[in-house]
Structure 1
Amino acid sequence: MHASAHVDTFARDHLPPLAQQPTYLFDLPQLQFPARLNCATELLDRHVREGRGARACIRAPGLAWSYAELQDQANRIANVLVQDMGLVPGNRVLLRAPNNPMLAACWFAVMKAGGIAVATMPLLRAKELKAIVEIGQVTHALCDAALAEELRLTVQEQPALRAVRYFHDDGPDGLEAAMAQASPHFDNVDTAADDCCIFGFTSGTTGVPKATMHYHRDVMAVCACWPPHLLRPQPDDVFIGSPPLAFTFGLGGLLLFPLAVGASTVLLEKAGPAQLLQGIQDFGATVLFTAPTSYRQLAAQGALLRTARLRKCVSAGEVLPASTRALWKEATGIELIDGIGATEMLHIFISHDEATARPGATGKAVPGYRAKVVDDNGRELPPGTVGKLAVQGPTGCRYLADARQQAYVKDGWNLTGDAYRMDADGYFHYEARTDDMIVSAGYNIAAPEVEDALLAHPAVAECAVVGVPDEERGQIVKAYVVLRPGQAADAAMVRALQDFVKQTVAPYKYPRAIAFTGQLPRTQTGKLQRFKLRDA
């Protein structure tokens, strides 16, 4: 490892032992990174330095920033972080906002200052934020004033989160007021290529969140692998999409990849199908990132989309049904680019381009990565056999001080938790998750977390949560509930339990279907048999 620029060494001190980390591949020429690397220098400042500062960079309804303007904003925020908020390199900074230009500026400010960005989903509640703050030992936060309430509740219980500023706040204590007094110049911290710059949180199968640790070189590696080989974006492209920047799918597709080539990106605070359609038309978007659920709904507007500038459409976040691929091609004339990524790997590692797409197949290993299907003992399986997906590349799983590292990484390979089979031509075909993760409309939902929320309701004696197939969302959350004596198993109770869950955890996790039952299937030792509920 290179000499760290981090004064706060928490991240490096809590990396998994090298023996538990995957084997990293740097075979491609573009993956030969220097020892000192700050991704903000490469993704943002380079364009200004090389004379492209006036190019359009970030756009949103009623707002447009050039590369130079984004740099100005990020530099001012970096100065506020360091001079006003006491940030030292290696500190963790919680970022909380819907997709908007200020969130992007804050992210780059954290990179510049040598901090570690901990971006959070806008829908998360205080209970979930508290766990993230505890695990990541987060000390600073930059938050959109529109999302202040849950963070304020978190701060009350987490005194270590000592430095908080709110933006889109006109008051004297708001971030903008401090930025107005700050210098537009900032000397980026001379970080090591393997200094951590992102904690990407994933809830995993247990509902206890895991922090995945990513370096400055990882950020640049994902820009060097999938985009140039399979997406092939151009500087004149306009990116748009629905995934939050707190998802690594969204961070890559809506910030890293457009800036890597000097293109522009559209950030929408609300990005349902209607808003995406409007944005595609209003901003002349050419590259779209969203989930299959959204493509299915947008396909109804095929006639309008055929008149737009759209030329590249990327699907990830959940499995792409062959019927959705066909529907989109028929509606728009555009072949979807499918891909599978993971928070642990940072972004897409199996994919294809338009010319090599096959119905029902995710694709082949992205240049820079390699993949295979293995059995429970790690032995490679022959084509046509379903097994566990194993991956290696320039990025890989590093959980922050988490025993689950040893389950994800075996013999130098990342085991993603997906069941796949590879055909005779080397194409990988998704079969299922190998755990109890529910993937609904692109969101990963851990069954035990929803169960915990339901069990906190006084009417619930027992419950079990599973994912069940759904044509629109891929899967939906279904809860089987055993009520306490005297409680009515009726429609009013269904609504009451659904509302209760929405108030406890992020609303997208609530059970869309609830079935009341007298007992749950268990083994003789009392272990819940979720597979029986799924089969039912």
Structure 2
Amino acid sequence: MRDSFCEDLLPPREQWPDFLLDRPEFHYPPRLNCAVELLDRNVTCGRGDHPALITPAETLSYAQLADRVDRIARVLVDRLGLVSGNRVLLRSANNAWMVAATFAVLKAGGVVVATMPLLRAKELSQMLRKARITHALCDARLAHELRKADAPDLRHLVTWDEGELEAMVAVAAPGFTAHDTAAEDICLIGFTSGSTGEPKATLHFHRDMLAICDGYAMQVLRPDPSDIFIGSPPLAFTFGLGGLVLFPFRVGATAVLLERAPPEDLPAAIARHRATICFTAPTAYRVMAAHAAQHDFSSLRKCVSAGETLPRAIYDAWLAATGLKLMDGIGATEMLHIFISATEDRIRPGATGLPVPGYLARVVDEQGAEVPRGTPGRLAVKGPTGCRYLDDPRQAQYVQHGWNITGDTYTQDADGYFWYQARNDDMIISAGYNIAGPEVEAALLTHPAVAECGVVGAPDAERGMVVRAYVVPKPGFLPDAALTKALQDHVKAEIAPFKYPRSVVFVEALPRTETGKLQRFALRQQAKSGT
């Protein structure tokens, strides 16, 4: 018996992107279960005693984690009636139970739908209804909003932390034979983070979970079993799932999971655990770089920045503070993980990088034709992963002529490097000039008074639009007319003068998604309303 809901609501085949699977590392057998490949294989290959997860509450070896996964899978199938294809909502901060629940669902043939801890009942209701969620496993500390949500298809809600799931697991029989899944069976629904408005549900196969490991992780990041991974992105964010679970497990390394990892706390955890690979967002690296002298970063050997664009000022500050080159990268929930980046020896500061081996990328115009090098245009990419939305007409916008159109404006230089300009809808056209909001943000961030900033276009009768900067000033700086002029003059000196913000609004905080992405669409709404 199989629940075919996801397969039934896949977009038509003619709307799928082209998948590039010709490289040997992407030659997967027609039948595979990614939980077996990513977790069980570490046990069968003799790494069962190696630490898989380290958390403040517990440390689990690969064998111990595999045992917990098997018992949760038995609970799901034997007690809760899970059949392959059922969608299981997971709700938790980053901890060992969240990882175990994820692999249990995968191993049982279910479909993982992970949710950010800060989501409220209204947002959860949208996901529960759209994905027709039948089962939920939830940290008891986060169950209140889930219980308030509208969930017409939810049959079972089981919590951990207060002992409910733990008691079921304790009496479950050990051992579980993985469900015989196909490489192209859907195993994950990733909801987009909402940085561009209404979230979309993206569908991913078992083979996709391996492809991001065998592509970006093995070809660009290149970890080894002795590595200790650490970072801040939630596991419900595919950046976090890959960087903190899938990538270390693919090579039998160790992951440190922290339920809270703000940039003020992450450095101490890096030193305590002697972490070697860090995944976090540019804003976190900016904060950590400013206080690097107070912390021990000597164990780090690779640092990955993604989630939003990496300004050159942050790259330079981290390099000066630690001697490490930040590995920038662009990924997307639709693509599952990073598809443009560069190994440390090929980093070009300020550029996002080169296509990850296995991916093709180009810059195209509105008709899909490639534009000359150095000309801004839409980023188009294809590779072993790609966009398949669940029952969403926006599929036809994201996939065009077999290419994934990511929604980003880029240029490509003569050497093939890709340089981020803006999200397509972040380009500001003012008096005939095209101005990229992130470029103005990067200039503002080099001023000592600026803690954070967001730049969008504001309506203007004379110019059509003007550049408006929403600025969070650092403590000790007075948000007044003098500071406004200082910031404007600073931008004029940093980049072309016509790009300076004619309007500066000082704010206490910027709107961000739970993954830390700046919600420029919210700022555009504010600018449109005159605030």
Which bin holds the TM-score, normalised by the shorter protein? 0.7 to 0.9
Closer, same or farther in 2 for the Cα pair 1:299/1:368, shift >3 Å? same
- Counterpart Cα distance in 2 of 1:59 and 1:508: 24
CA positional deviation for 1:355: 1.1
CA offsets, 1:433-452, max 9 Å, x none? 01369xxxxxxxxxxxxxxx
Closer, same or farther in 2 for the Cα pair 1:324/1:64, shift >3 Å? same
**Structure 1 counterpart of 2:304:** 314
- Match status 1:210 vs 2:200: yes
Letter in 1 for 2:189: F
**Percent identity of paired positions between Structure 1 and Structure 2:** 54
**Structure 2 counterpart of 1:148:** 143
Task: Select 1:28's aligned residue among 17, 23, 27.
Answer: 23
Is the Cα contact below 8 Å between 1:479 and 1:514 reproduced in 2? Answer: no
For 2:117, what is the secondary structure of its paired residue? coil
- Counterpart Cα distance in 2 of 1:473 and 1:235: 37
CA positional deviation for 1:356: 1.0
CA positional deviation for 1:303: 3.1
CA positional deviation for 1:308: 2.9
Moved over 4 A (4+): 203-206, 304-307, 466-470, 476-480, 505-515, 529-536
Runs (5+) with no aligned partner, structure 2: 428-436, 446-450, 460-507
Task: Select 2:156's aligned residue among 163, 167, 184.
Answer: 163
Is the Cα contact below 8 Å between 1:38 and 1:112 reproduced in 2? Answer: yes
- Match status 1:372 vs 2:362: yes
For 2:264, what is the secondary structure of its paired residue? helix
Closer, same or farther in 2 for the Cα pair 1:203/1:9, shift >3 Å? same
For 2:14, what is the secondary structure of its paired residue? helix
Task: Select 1:77's aligned residue among 49, 72, 75.
Answer: 72
Letter in 2 for 1:322: R
CA offsets, 1:398-441, max 9 Å, x none? 0001000000000000000000000000000000001369xxxx
**Structure 2 counterpart of 1:183:** 173
- Counterpart Cα distance in 2 of 1:509 and 1:427: 24
Closer, same or farther in 2 for the Cα pair 1:514/1:178, shift >3 Å? closer
For 2:378, what is the secondary structure of its paired residue? strand
- Counterpart Cα distance in 2 of 1:476 and 1:102: 39
Closer, same or farther in 2 for the Cα pair 1:425/1:54, shift >3 Å? same
For 1:403, what is the secondary structure of its paired residue? coil
Runs (5+) with no aligned partner, structure 1: 1-5, 438-465, 481-497, 516-528
- Counterpart Cα distance in 1 of 2:265 and 2:117: 17
Closer, same or farther in 2 for the Cα pair 1:243/1:90, shift >3 Å? same
CA offsets, 1:135-193, max 9 Å, x none? 10111000001101100101xx32311101001113xxx10011011112100001000
Closer, same or farther in 2 for the Cα pair 1:479/1:124, shift >3 Å? farther
CA offsets, 1:60-100, max 9 Å, x none? 11411000011011111111111111110000000000001
- Counterpart Cα distance in 2 of 1:229 and 1:185: 34
CA positional deviation for 1:310: 0.8
CA positional deviation for 1:274: 2.3
**Structure 1 counterpart of 2:381:** 391
Letter in 1 for 2:151: Q
**Structure 1 counterpart of 2:99:** 104
- Counterpart Cα distance in 2 of 1:35 and 1:427: 35
- Match status 1:406 vs 2:396: yes
**Structure 1 counterpart of 2:423:** 433
**Structure 1 counterpart of 2:3:** 8
Closer, same or farther in 2 for the Cα pair 1:301/1:423, shift >3 Å? same
- Counterpart Cα distance in 2 of 1:205 and 1:405: 17
- Counterpart Cα distance in 2 of 1:214 and 1:418: 22
CA offsets, 1:441-488, max 9 Å, x none? xxxxxxxxxxxxxxxxxxxxxxxxx999473445389999xxxxxxxx
- Counterpart Cα distance in 2 of 1:369 and 1:317: 19
CA positional deviation for 1:240: 0.2
CA offsets, 1:355-406, max 9 Å, x none? 1111210001000101000000000011000000000000000000100000
**Structure 2 counterpart of 1:296:** 286
For 1:159, what is the secondary structure of its paired residue? coil
Task: Select 2:271's aligned residue among 261, 281, 290.
Answer: 281
Q: How does 1:410-425 map to 2 (within 5 A)?
A: 410-425=400-415
CA positional deviation for 1:302: 2.3
Task: Select 1:258's aligned residue among 244, 248, 252.
Answer: 248
Letter in 2 for 1:398: R
**Structure 1 counterpart of 2:226:** 236
Is the Cα contact below 8 Å between 2:268 and 2:295 reproduced in 1? Answer: no
**Structure 2 counterpart of 1:249:** 239
- Counterpart Cα distance in 2 of 1:420 and 1:320: 14
- Counterpart Cα distance in 2 of 1:423 and 1:394: 24
**Structure 2 counterpart of 1:448:** none
CA offsets, 1:241-263, max 9 Å, x none? 00000110000000000000000
Letter in 1 for 2:5: F
Closer, same or farther in 2 for the Cα pair 1:511/1:116, shift >3 Å? closer
For 2:265, what is the secondary structure of its paired residue? helix
For 2:405, what is the secondary structure of its paired residue? strand
CA positional deviation for 1:104: 0.3
**Structure 2 counterpart of 1:194:** 184
Is the Cα contact below 8 Å between 2:230 and 2:270 reproduced in 1? Answer: yes
Q: How does 1:416-495 map to 2 (within 5 A)?
A: 416-435=406-425, 469=441, 471=445, 472-473=451-452, 475=454
**Structure 1 counterpart of 2:56:** 61
Instruction: Provide the aligned C-alpha RMSD in A.
Output: 3.0
- Counterpart Cα distance in 1 of 2:521 and 2:245: 36
Closer, same or farther in 2 for the Cα pair 1:299/1:389, shift >3 Å? same
Is the Cα contact below 8 Å between 1:197 and 1:214 reproduced in 2? Answer: yes
**Structure 2 counterpart of 1:131:** 126
Letter in 1 for 2:114: A
CA positional deviation for 1:128: 0.3
Is the Cα contact below 8 Å between 2:135 and 2:157 reproduced in 1? Answer: yes
Closer, same or farther in 2 for the Cα pair 1:121/1:17, shift >3 Å? same
Task: Select 1:17's aligned residue among 12, 17, 21.
Answer: 12
Q: How does 1:524-535 map to 2 (within 5 A)?
A: 533=528
- Counterpart Cα distance in 2 of 1:408 and 1:478: 24
